[in-house]
Amino acid sequence: MTAVSVTSLRQTGPATAEATVEITTDGTGPVTLLVEWSTGDEKGSPGAPDGAETFRREGATRYTLTLPHAFRGTGCYWGARATTDPAAADGGSLQQVFARRCVIS
Q: What is the pLDDT of residues 38-75, one digit of tens each?
A: 999 999 888 999 999 999 999 999 999 999 999 999 99
- DSSP structure string for 4-23: EEEEEEEEEETTEEEEEEEE
pLDDT at 89: 92
Give the integer Cα–Cα distance in Å for 74 and 24: 33
Is the pLDDT assigned to residue 83 strictly greater than 80? yes
List 23's β-bridge partners, or say none: 4, 63
CATH code assigned to 3-98:
2.60.40.10
User: From the CB of residue 43, how many other CB atoms can be counted at a distance below 10 Å?
Assistant: 11
pLDDT at 105: 66
Q: Where are the domains of the chain?
A: 3-98
Query: In whole angstroms, what separates CA 15 from the centre of its chain?
Result: 16
